[in-house]
Structures are given as C-alpha cells and as structure tokens.
Amino acid sequence: MLDLTHYINGDHQQGESGRFADVFNPATGEVEKRTPLATVAEMDKAVAVAKAAQPAWAAQNPQKRARVFMKMAMLLEEHKPAMAEALSREHGKTIEDSLGDIQRGLEVVEFVMGAPHLLKGEFTEGAGPGIDMYSMRQPVGIGAGITPFNFPAMIPLWMAAPAIACGNAFILKPSERDPSVPLRIAELFEEAGLPKGIFQVVQGDKEAVDAICAHPDIGAISFVGSTPIAQYVYQTATAHGKRAQCFGGAKNHMIIMPDADLDQAADALIGAGYGSAGERCMAISVAVPVGRETGDKLIEKLKPRIEELHVGPYTDEKADFGPVVTKAAQEKILGLIETGVSEGAKLVVDGRGFSHQGYENGFFVGGCLFDDVTPDMDIYKTEIFGPVLSVVRANTYEEALDLPMKHEYGNGVAIYTRDGDAARDFASRINIGMVGINVPIPVPLAYHSFGGWKSSSFGDLNQHGTDSIKFWTRTKTITSRWPSGVKDGAEFSIPVMN
C-alpha cells in the first residue's frame, strides 16, 4: 500500500503524526493508499516556510508572477490525461468528468495571467490643493484553502491561483479522500517556476483545519464543503481575526414552465442531476414542473432516460457516471432514499439494488427518481449529494418560484422556458446566487465570480473573477502632498474639500 505525503518547502515529506486516512478506489471498494493526517506542529512548519518565502514573491512585479501561470497552464494541459486518470481512480467520476474538473481549474489559471491589470489601483491627481490620492492592492500575506473531495483539481486551483498571483503564499488542506491530484498540482507549480514555499500541501482532518483557523500568521481562508462545517470554519476563522469565504451546501431547483422544450429540459435534468453521481454542489436535485400536464409529460420523458443510464467504473468508457466516493456516502444516500419512500414520495425509478458485475464491492448507487415530493419531506430539505432527483410539482409559476425562494440553501437555480418575460422576472426576483436560463448548471466562467446566497455561503466575497482579487488583497489608500506652495501653520479641523 502506498503512503502519500505532505508537500512542504518544495519536498514530499512523510507524515509525523502516525495517523492516516484510507484512500479508496470507489469502484472496487479497496483501500489503495493512505494519506497522513497532520499535527499542529506540521502545520506550523508549513506556515513558517510560507512566511519566509512570501515577501520575496510579493516583491516580484505582477508580470513576472503572471509568467509562472502561463507556464502552469501549459503544464496542466500537457499532464491533463494522467491527472484525470489519477483523479478518477480516487474519486470514482468518469474520465470525461475528471478532464472537465481540471479544465475549469485551468481556466482560472488563465484568468490570473491578467494579474498586472487586475491589481492596478486608482489614482486621482489634484484631489486637493497640491494633493494627489491613490490606492494600491497588496497581498494578505499567507492564505489557506480547505477543499472538498468532489473537485480535487478545480477548487484548489480556484483558490490558489488568485491568491498566489496576488503575491501571497498559499497552504492547501485538500480532502483526505482524494489527495493525489493536489500533490501533483504542487509539483507542477514548482516546475512552472513558483518558488519553494509559495504553494504547499498539508494533508489532514479537523486537527489541521483548526490549526489553520487559529494560526496567527494565516490572514485569509477559503473553504468549500458542507454548510455546518462552512459555518464552523467561518465563525472560527473570523473569531481569530481572519477574513474568510466559506461555501456550503446546496439544493438546486430547476423550474420547467409549460412552454419549455421538454426534451431539452429532460436531457438537461439527466446531465445536471446524475453527472458525477450527483456529487456536485451545483447538481440539480429538484425538478419543479409547472402544471399537472407538464409534470406528467416530464416524468414520462425522464423515466426511460434514467432507467437507461449506464453506471460503471471510470475505466468503462460508456459509463455515464460512476460510484460515489465512500461506503459512508453510499449508505447515507441509500438511507435518505428509504426515508423518502417512508415519507410517502413515489419512487418512480429505484436504483438502490444496483450492482456492477466484477465490482460488487464498489460504492455504486443507481439513478433514482422521486415524484410527488413535498417541501416538508427530508429528501427535499436535505442535500442528498447522490444520483437522486426529486420532482416537486407546482400549480403556478408563483408557486414554483416560492420553492427555491423559501429553501434554506441558495447556491444555484435554473428555469427552462421560451418566455423571455418569465425568464427576466425569474432572474430579477430569485434570491439565489447563480441563475441559469435554459442552462442547467449555471457555473460562471473564470472571469465572473462563483458563490451562493443564504446558507450556501458565508462571507462577503466570492471565488474567482474580480472578487477573488479583492479577497486575496488589502487596499491601501495614500494621500500625498509635497511642500511647494503649502502654507505654514497647524490645522485643527478635520480635512474637507472646499
């Protein structure tokens, strides 16, 4: 069995705690690797290295820093196939899905090549008699990222690329379930020319998370995971005087209007609901058809499509999706399906008994479809994070709109319609952070920001886009006056512009 490492100061380092987490191949259910779980002392070591390396990196002009990302983009493109294979082996998602995971991270690397422009401040000549005023963006110092299992390439790059481009050092605590790709990212950053100590990987669990939140030299923390832990990290980090952006769970709705193209909507629901076995924070898990006829026709189109889904290991090129990440995840999903049945929802497609020949011990769950789900049911309120789609019927547009508006989560939402007025009204009124109009998974591109509302997000600034530059920098404003023509004598009133 292979023991993985931390990546500190440009070197792979064995764990010192004696504690490990098992890394599974979800398709077989076998433990193939172990990842070390860091002590506070190991985190302290990484922070000390980052603190020593960061000032020289920040002193590099932004264009030189951007050139590292130009090289990094080429390396990610070159190594994408091998990284995708490693990612799929530990996560379970298909190779095509893993390639997309890496690509979306690469696009943020491409975005931060524009750091010389993004970091420009503001300047006002003649703000007062002989006075110039200007602002500059300066790095926070040391940033940290705590990332989930479901996107082990994309989300670390979403966090690290802007942080490093802004002149910070960055410490990544990836998920212990699929840690190999983050280690490879660290190697590629160094190959791209990033100095030792600027990007480090410290494996770990809650002990490492608490060490990040409490360390006085870490100035900013980015987190993605479940809502309870997002709230915990946000409260703990801010209590220690840090800025934090923490992104939590989701229950994303798709409203299907009577005028929608139902074949298009059904295909969108299949991809958005079952891709990556539903293990996406932007997965559509609730379909809301408006009107009885719309609902009946939608179920009629969804049922055969779901029954025909091809579930298999990542090595099966025909697989639509693979296993979920762990046995515990599988058991949680199956338990929630049982809850839905007991609550009275109609299980139209039952994937509980799915088993793949030759992979009987894998963590597979077949595609499931519930109809007649109501807002008081646990399967509606809870983020299942598996291949389960719930249909909640609405009689009117207003009733449909009310469902995501009142839900605890506010990550993503979509509407399918041919009516531009309805789409415009929906986009304007909905209290959700990311909205799709005839787009099932409205994940913004790298130059726009990603983030939800309500219990899906804690903090004021989102990931990537210009928000990321604001998050990983502090603004300093300078008011400058030179002696020429300045009168003598003290002034005791607050400066004003007359």
Give the closest residue to 112 by CA, choosing from 155, 154, 164.
164
The rounded distance, in Å, linking the Cα atoms of 47 and 50 is: 5
- Residue 194 · residue 73 · CB < 8 Å: no
Distance (Å) of CA 418 to CA 257, 260, 261, 295, 494: 8, 6, 8, 17, 58
Question: Residue 69: CB partners within 8 Å, gap ≥ 6?
Answer: 109, 110, 112, 113, 115, 161, 165, 192
Which residues have a Cβ under 8 Å from the Cβ of 73 and sit 6 or more positions away? Answer: 106, 109, 110, 113
3-class SS of residue 320: coil
Give me the catalytic one of 166, 213, 246, 281: 281
Q: 411 with 429: CB under 8 angstroms? A: no
Catalytic residue status for 166 = no
Three state DSSP letters for 170-207? EEEECCCCCCHHHHHHHHHHHHCCCCCCCEEECCCCHH
Phi, psi at 497, each rounded to 5°: -105, 110
DSSP 389: E
10 Å Cβ neighbour count for 446?
23
Query: Count of CB atoms within 10 A of residue 88's CB?
Result: 26
Q: How many CB atoms lie within 10 A of CB 210?
A: 16
Residue 300, both tokens:
């009629």
Alpha-carbon gap, residue 492 to 51, rounded angstroms: 41
From the list 278, 272, 255, the residue with the least C-alpha distance to 430 is: 255
Burial class of 344 by CB neighbour count within 10 A (0 to 12, 13 to 18, 19+): exposed
For CA atoms 486, 489, 490, 495, give the dihedral sign: negative
- Tell me the C-alpha distance between 452 and 464, whole Å: 13
Q: Which token pair is 183? A: 């280690």
Positions marked catalytic: 281
